[in-house]
């Protein structure tokens, strides 16, 4: 064992294995730096406030989570009333309505910011005073597993850090990535269409800073170890305030090298591996989730070899589910599902169907044809949605995401609107609940919120269409009226989630096989880790009434099979499905 002096009052005991693991990662990231000195700095940055590491790192396994792990995704001000702190209202809502149903709460960036609804941060150590304070965040963290964003790639151009950079002050003078307009940047993968570089005046003359997402969001330069060390300090600061799941926002872009794609570079993966080592050696149960809105194969790479993210967003799921329910065919959803590898032990898919962003289309590339994507985009536009574009290396534009409330995206099919909006929407959620992984529900999906056109008009941003702010009194009134779409969906979702969380076969790492039931049905079989429970999750993705013979499921004889959703016993006869009906047929209730 070796030691590191942490404070004048305390000495931290560090195992040689942990120290060497950190050093090797740092040596790969910064080969020209003194890796031993950097190791001491990393230990002091992450554990330098009195926290101590575990003697041994957590072993990756399926005991990190269970079937009752679920999340709700929300902004700190998704619920307001003009009188109380929004975070206080959020706590009241989730406690009164979701306690015992939802286990985790992901509060989207709640820090002071200047744009992009929180993702252009000015201070990583403060709570936006318009939302509340750290006491509100910590209160929610005591009742739910708290997920928080670590916005690694960039910060606000109006932050004190960037002002210090412009004035040439240490240590910030080298905190941000710069390039020349004469550099060859044609290989850079762009998620946006604006010019990549922004010219700014500094004490050392004009510089061109790198702006992946907007000119108000200036990218950091992680080739400077001080940037990494500062973010490790911020990680610890957030952990000390109750954060247990850390979302690494836009992490695919954090390492840049001129002349490359500047996405998924080896150093990026190495930084995440380093963070995984620190998380697994934390006394607190820390989970890392990477947010990489990219094609499926690229996204899967962030599991590493069970040594990078604990969870990855299942980004291909939203566009594929929407396509299946719009067109009435599970062809592409089935093909994708059959090709998806099971998550390794200690890893899990984060299954969502909607978020604060739009429905991403990059993850559907190579999974859906251009014609299929085009048809889906046009259908969404006919239902009041918007489309955001990205620029390709040749200067052409391509759809990047569909901006729409998921409830409104599913108000009909490619044939037009119909009467199956609620059933179709619930089908989308039921599929996500049953798939291998951990389900997460955007608050506006739980509430069946429609497109917010006023928000788009006021902000001038397409994404505002799915970022409605509910007046708390109006929300409570809507949920109390059982005839509203909001009450119908919310009550049904609570019931389904309640059923789901009690089933061992829905453990995030339980076995899953895709069923071959034809294109009108999307079905898969789940089996609990201990093999005592099987569930056949079968979903009608059409507006037709369908039937299948019970023998098509190969139900084990001598056992009583029951549909968990309806309570019906399934016999030897045919099994019927109403339009968009979902069944969870199990041998154990």
Known binding residue 92? Answer is no
Known binding residue 98? Answer is no
Contact 77, 477 (CB under 8 A): no
CA-to-CA separations, 21 to 39, 273, 434, 585, in angstroms, rounded = 9, 10, 37, 46
Contact 443, 352 (CB under 8 A): no
For the chain, the maximum distance between any two Cα atoms, rounded to a whole number of angstroms, is 80
Known binding residue 216? Answer is no
Q: How far is CA 90 from the centre of its chain?
A: 20
User: Rounded distance, CA 224 to CA 178, Å?
Assistant: 12
Task: Mark whether 249 is an active-site residue.
Answer: yes
The kind and range of the H/E element at 201 are strand 197-202
User: Rounded distance, CA 443 to CA 458, Å?
Assistant: 21
Which candidate, 118, 55, 16, 108, places its Cα nearest to that of 442? 108
Q: What is the 3-state secondary structure (H, E, C) of 418-448?
A: CCCHHHHHHHHHHHHHHCCCEEEEEHHHHCC
CA dihedral for 27, 28, 30, 31, sign (positive or negative): positive
Q: What is the 3-state secondary structure (H, E, C) of 207-262?
A: EEEECCCECCEEEECCCCHHHHHHHHHHHHHHHCCCEEEEEEECHHHCCCCCCCCC
Residue 270 CB contacts under 8 Å (≥ 6 apart), including other chains: 25, 28, 29
CB atoms within 10 A of CB 551: 10
What dihedral do alpha carbons 214, 216, 222, 224 form, nearest 10°? Answer: 140
User: Rounded distance, CA 471 to CA 77, Å?
Assistant: 10
CA dihedral for 544, 518, 432, 79, sign (positive or negative): negative
Known binding residue 357? Answer is yes
Instruction: Please spell the DSSP secondary structure of 443-476, one letter per residue.
Output: HHHHTT----HHHHHHH--GGGGG---EEHHHHH
Known binding residue 560? Answer is no
Known binding residue 208? Answer is no
Beta bridge partners of 403: 386
Of the residues 216, 249, 280, 563, only one is catalytic, namely: 249
Instruction: Please spell the DSSP secondary structure of 536-550, one letter per residue.
Output: EEEEE-SSS-EEEEG
Which candidate, 181, 188, 224, places its Cα nearest to that of 206? 181
Q: What is the 3-state secondary structure (H, E, C) of 60-103?
A: CCHHHCCCCCCEEEECCCCEECCCCCHHHHHHHHHHHHHECCEC
Q: Which residue has the tokens 């901006």?
A: 403
Contact 405, 393 (CB under 8 A): no
The kind and range of the H/E element at 18 are helix 16-29
Known binding residue 370? Answer is no
Known binding residue 446? Answer is no
Which candidate, 397, 404, 354, places its Cα nearest to that of 378? 404
Mark the binding-site residues for substrate, compressed into ranges: 116, 154, 247-249, 356-357, 463
Mark the binding-site residues, compressed into ranges: 116, 154, 247-249, 356-357, 463
Q: Annotated catalytic sites, by residue?
A: 249
């Amino acid at each position: 064992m070796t030691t590191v002096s942490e404070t004048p009052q305390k000495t931290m005991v560090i195992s040689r294995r942990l120290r060497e693991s950190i050093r090797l990662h740092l040596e790969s990231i910064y080969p020209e730096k003194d890796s031993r000195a950097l190791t001491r700095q990393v230990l002091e940055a992450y554990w330098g406030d009195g926290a101590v590491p575990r003697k041994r790192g957590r072993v990756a396994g399926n005991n990190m989570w269970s079937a009752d792990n679920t999340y709700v995704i929300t902004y700190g001000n998704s619920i307001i009333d003009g009188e109380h702190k929004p975070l206080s209202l959020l706590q009241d809502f989730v406690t009164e309505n979701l306690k015992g149903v939802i286990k985790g709460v992901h509060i989207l960036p709640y820090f002071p910011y200047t744009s992009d609804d929180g993702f252009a941060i000015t201070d990583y150590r403060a709570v936006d005073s318009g939302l509340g304070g750290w006491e509100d965040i910590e209160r929610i963290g005591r009742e739910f597993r708290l997920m928080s964003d670590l916005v690694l790639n960039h910060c606000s151009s109006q932050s004190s850090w960037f002002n210090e950079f412009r004035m040439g002050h240490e240590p910030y003078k080298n905190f941000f990535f710069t390039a020349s307009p004469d550099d060859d940047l044609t290989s850079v993968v762009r998620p946006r269409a604006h010019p990549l570089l922004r010219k700014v005046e500094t004490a050392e003359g004009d510089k061109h800073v790198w702006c992946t997402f907007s000119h108000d969001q200036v990218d950091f330069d992680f080739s400077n170890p001080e940037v990494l060390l500062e973010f490790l300090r911020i990680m610890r600061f957030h952990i000390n305030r109750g954060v247990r799941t850390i979302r690494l926002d836009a992490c695919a872009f954090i390492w840049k090298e001129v002349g490359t794609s500047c996405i998924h570079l080896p150093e990026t993966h190495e930084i995440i591996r380093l963070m995984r080592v620190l998380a697994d050696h934390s006394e607190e149960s820390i989970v890392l989730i990477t947010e990489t809105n990219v094609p499926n194969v690229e996204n899967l790479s962030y599991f590493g070899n069970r040594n990078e993210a604990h969870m990855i967003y299942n980004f291909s799921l939203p566009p594929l589910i929407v396509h299946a329910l719009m067109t009435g065919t599970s062809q592409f959803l089935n093909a994708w599902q059959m090709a998806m590898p099971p998550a390794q032990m200690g890893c899990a898919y984060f299954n969502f169907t909607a978020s604060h962003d739009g429905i991403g289309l990059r993850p559907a590339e190579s999974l859906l044809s251009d014609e299929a994507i085009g048809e889906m985009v046009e259908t969404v536009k006919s239902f009041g949605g918007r489309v955001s574009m990205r620029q390709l290396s040749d200067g052409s534009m391509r759809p990047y995401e569909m901006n729409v409330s998921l409830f409104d995206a599913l108000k009909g099919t490619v044939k037009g609107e119909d009467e199956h909006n609620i059933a179709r929407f619930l089908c989308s959620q039921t599929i996500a609940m049953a798939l291998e992984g951990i389900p997460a529900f955007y608050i506006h999906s739980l509430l069946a919120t429609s497109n917010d056109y006023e928000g788009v008009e006021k902000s001038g941003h397409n994404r505002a269409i799915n970022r409605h702010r509910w007046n708390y009194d109006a929300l409570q009134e809507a949920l109390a009226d059982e005839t509203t779409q909001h009450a119908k969906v919310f009550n049904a979702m609570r019931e389904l989630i309640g059923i789901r969380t009690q089933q061992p076969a829905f453990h995030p790492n339980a076995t899953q096989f895709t069923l071959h039931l034809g294109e009108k049905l999307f079905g898969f079989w789940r089996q609990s880790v201990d093999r005592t429970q099987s569930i056949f999750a079968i979903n009608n993705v059409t507006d037709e009434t369908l039937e299948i013979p019970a023998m098509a499921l190969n139900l084990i004889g001598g056992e009583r099979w029951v549909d968990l959703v309806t309570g019906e016993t399934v016999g030897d006869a045919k099994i019927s499905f109403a339009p968009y009906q979902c069944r969870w047929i199990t041998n154990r209730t």
